[in-house]
Amino acid sequence: MDDHPELPDELRCIYCGEGGPFSDEHVFPAGLGGDDACLLIDLVCAECNTKRFSPLEESFMRSSPIAFPRVFLQERGRGKGKKASIPTIHANSKTLVDPQSNLGVEVEVRTGGVPVVLLQILFSNTGIRLAGRDQTGFQSFYDSLENAFVDSLQVVEKIGKGKAARFKVTTFVWNGGTYIQGEETVVPKAPANGIWQISFPEDDSASCPRLFQRLEGQLQLRVRDTDNVGSLLGLARKSLPGARQTAAVDTPVSGTSLHVSLEIDFASYARVVAKIGVNLVTHELGDAMIRDSAFEDLKKAILTGQPDLQLEPQVQSNRYQPIFASVPPRFHAMALAAHPIGNGRCVLVFMLKLYGGPIHTIALSRSAPLPETELPVFFTVEYNDRRMERFSGRAFCDTFPPVF
């Protein structure tokens, strides 16, 4: 329902059609290295920008195939200076196999693809084992565990995803020798304190349970359904006095195999590619173009995920590969092209190449108004310098000669 029927189109969000408040929207996502000087101003409402697009783009950047080249090649994400975020991978698990013990250890993957072994307690068949690369940080790790191991502690487990997510909170009570499971409740918001319980991926049947600390400080216990959580927590609590006097195993990161378990939402992937295309059309051809009814179904699909958006099959997209073949991997590359169909209309196509990878192609509209601007037009984004540059077709080919 339109709450402001009197508003002209130019005062409405280009995506949802509602009035403001508006927030500045990067033409190309800031988290992928977008230029802070290339913004859509007073065109995208704060509701769409913050509540809909931010989670969508975060999933794309950290939980899709793009996460891997991003963490290897991109130095920073959003923000500047000390406030700049560091590209990371959000996965079900990231495990490095210790060549000495053949045990899996929990890691984070940081800029440049460097694995960082987290501080952790491994519950193996032969007893408790300590692992981690930051030897000086173990005392802080033990302090965090001691603060968590109160006589009545909470274990938090996430149930579901997205807006439907809930949190199961289980109370464990210390009886002097171990933790006994107590009351379970399901709440809409996770408590501030507690140890998070997470599961092993289905394809990991060999790794032992482990209690570890994320780089941001959160304590997590990775277990299987058959593991006794109370017993594991009890063992960890009783081991702390001796652990403080024991040197942790320094797990090497070179010459070891890294295993990453990742769930990929291909529908969200296509939505982000399409959204970048819509932003680029607005930036290059004006908001009047993207407000045309020919783009309504596309914008609805970007906002809601319905109907499913489909990228062109890779076999078809590969026909554009020679055009982008000379673009170095330090650049993202994009293009808009129009194929006239008569009656002043055209098929408007968007092409996107990220981190030197495959080309993604999507028809933004099959009956768009034929633009007055000469197309195709190309753009590059130098993601580590956060700089976007526009090229005519001829200038792009002169700068990055096609390879046929």
123 lies in the same domain as 243: yes
pLDDT at residue 187 above 70? yes
Residues 315, 330 contacting (CB under 8 angstroms): no
Residue 82 within any structural domain of the chain = no
394 lies in the same domain as 290: yes
Helix (H, G, I), strand (E, B) or coil at 11: helix
Residues 38, 283 contacting (CB under 8 angstroms): yes
Classify each residue of 324-358 as buried b or exposed e, where b means 16 or more C-beta atoms within 10 Å of its C-beta.
beebeebbbbbbbbbeeeeeebbebbbbbbbbeee
Residues 229, 222 contacting (CB under 8 angstroms): no
State how many domains the chain has. 2
Taking residues 34-61, what's their average pLDDT?
Answer: 94
Residues 68, 74 contacting (CB under 8 angstroms): no
The string of pLDDT tens digits covering residues 101-118 is 777 889 888 777 788 889
What tokens were used for 364? Answer: 């933004």
Which of 213, 239, 261 is the last residue in one of the domains? 261
The string of pLDDT tens digits covering residues 162-176 is 778 999 999 999 999
Which of 229, 261, 293 is the last residue in one of the domains? 261
243 lies in the same domain as 288: no
Q: Find out whether the peptide bond into 340 is cis, omega within 30 degrees of 0.
A: no
Q: How far apart are CA 26 and CA 257, in angstroms?
A: 37
Residue 85 within any structural domain of the chain = no
255 lies in the same domain as 273: no
The string of pLDDT tens digits covering residues 315-332 is 788 889 999 999 999 999
Give whichever of 70-84, 216-230, 369-383 has the largest mean pLDDT: 369-383
pLDDT, mean over the chain: 89
Place of tokens 């006589």: 151
Residues 104, 95 contacting (CB under 8 angstroms): yes
Q: How far apart are CA 207 and CA 348, in angstroms?
A: 50
233 lies in the same domain as 300: no
213 lies in the same domain as 283: no
Q: How far apart are CA 133 and CA 141, in angstroms?
A: 12
211 lies in the same domain as 276: no
Kindly report the pTM of this predicted structure: 0.82
Residue 78 within any structural domain of the chain = no
CB within 8 Å of 105: residues ≥ 6 apart: 95, 96, 97, 98, 117, 118, 120, 122, 131, 210, 251
The string of pLDDT tens digits covering residues 321-377 is 999 999 999 999 999 999 999 999 999 999 999 999 999 999 999 999 999 999 999
Look at residue 1 in the predicted model and tell me its pLDDT.
Answer: 45
pLDDT at residue 3 above 70? no
Residue 281 within any structural domain of the chain = yes
Supply the range of the domain harboring residue 352: 9-67+265-399
Residue 371 within any structural domain of the chain = yes
146 lies in the same domain as 238: yes
What sign results for the dihedral spanned by CA atoms 340, 342, 348, 349?
A: negative
**Strand pairing category for 345-353 and 219-223:** unpaired
Residue 84 within any structural domain of the chain = no
41 lies in the same domain as 120: no
Which of 261, 289, 315 is the last residue in one of the domains? 261
pLDDT at residue 92 above 50? yes
7: nearest Cα among 22, 23, 19: 19
Residue 219 within any structural domain of the chain = yes
DSSP calls for 256-325: --EEEE----HHHHHHHHHHHHHHHHHHHH-HHHHTSGGGHHHHHHHHH--SPP-PPPHHHHGGGHHHHT
192 lies in the same domain as 145: yes
Taking residues 206-218, what's their average pLDDT?
Answer: 90
The string of pLDDT tens digits covering residues 11-32 is 999 999 999 899 999 999 999 9
120 lies in the same domain as 214: yes
Q: How far apart are CA 52 and CA 67, in angstroms?
A: 20
Residue 167 within any structural domain of the chain = yes
pLDDT at residue 86 above 90? no
129 lies in the same domain as 144: yes
